[in-house]
Amino acid sequence: RKEVEQDPGPFNVPEGATVAFNCTYSNSASQSFFWYRQDCRKEPKLLMSVYSSGNEDGRFTAQLNRASQYISLLIRDSKLSDSATYLCVVNIGGFKTIFGAGTRLFVKA
Amino acid sequence: DAGITQSPRHKVTETGTPVTLRCHQTENHRYMYWYRQDPGHGLRLIHYSYGVKDTDKGEVSDGYSVSRSKTEDFLLTLESATSSQTSVYFCAISEGQIGKNTEAFFGQGTRLTVV
């Protein structure tokens, strides 16, 4: 079992739709959680950190469920520019930071 | 954007030849990392550095070595390239340890093909 697992997608949604991704992690000692965004053939960039109480940044909401060991990313009112791969990132201590393989999102007009 | 550049951006090399990839930063960040990215896998850590001449192995370090003689430069060497090392290589930098609520900044990547 992979330490961090994501549905690879792709998710194909129309503009204006709400879409949610989940990411599960296997190590209960995981400490920090993040979502990164990677455009096609580009480098990953931090989208947002994920806090225990949940957090929101504009149209993006991140949630953490420690009991079930998953994090989620909700995107409201999807834009064409949201088309990208979203990487789930989990730190389990020290330099042990695991990147998920990513979930691809296509937003269509 | 963070000042981090990788060179070369693309390279094709033959099996058995040594290859060196360079990562250069202008941010004066302490930590530098080399990752590889392959389809179906997340970014996997090859080696990292926590200071000049201070380096350590990541999860996929076999066949790779690194050096950091200056704060701004982190070199990744494939001692004898194999086809399994065909990949996209990303360098990253961070002020603190990645995952300690510290953002990682990535270079634009190097596409390496070993034939």
CB-CB under 8 Å, A95 with B44: no
- Top residue of A43, A64, A91, A104 to mutate, by most chain B CBs within 10 Å, is A43
Asked if A9 is an interface residue toward chain B (Cβ–Cβ < 8 A), one would say: no
Beta bridge partners of B110: B89
Asked if A102 is an interface residue toward chain B (Cβ–Cβ < 8 A), one would say: yes
CB-nearest to A102 from B42, B56, B97 is: B42
Q: How many residues does the structure list for chain A?
A: 109
CB-nearest to B103 from A4, A43, A46 is: A46
What are the tens digits of pLDDT across the range B103-112?
A: 899 999 999 9
Name the nearest CA neighbour of B44 among B54, B33, B55, B32.
B33
Confidence band for B1, pLDDT divided at 50, 70 and 90 = low
In this prediction, residues B83-111 reach a mean pLDDT of 90
Asked if A79 is an interface residue toward chain B (Cβ–Cβ < 8 A), one would say: no
CB-nearest to A101 from B42, B45, B58 is: B42
Asked if A58 is an interface residue toward chain B (Cβ–Cβ < 8 A), one would say: no
What are the tens digits of pLDDT across the range A26-84?
A: 999 888 999 999 999 999 999 999 988 999 999 999 999 999 999 999 999 999 999 99
CB-nearest to A97 from B98, B106, B109 is: B98
Per-residue model confidence (pLDDT) at position A2: 83
C-alpha distances out from residue A83 to A37, B43, B48, Å: 10, 20, 31
In this prediction, residues A74-102 reach a mean pLDDT of 93
Euclidean distance between CA atoms A51 and A63, whole angstroms? 7
Euclidean distance between CA atoms B95 and A53, whole angstroms? 25
Euclidean distance between CA atoms A34 and B42, whole angstroms? 14
Euclidean distance between CA atoms B99 and B77, whole angstroms? 26
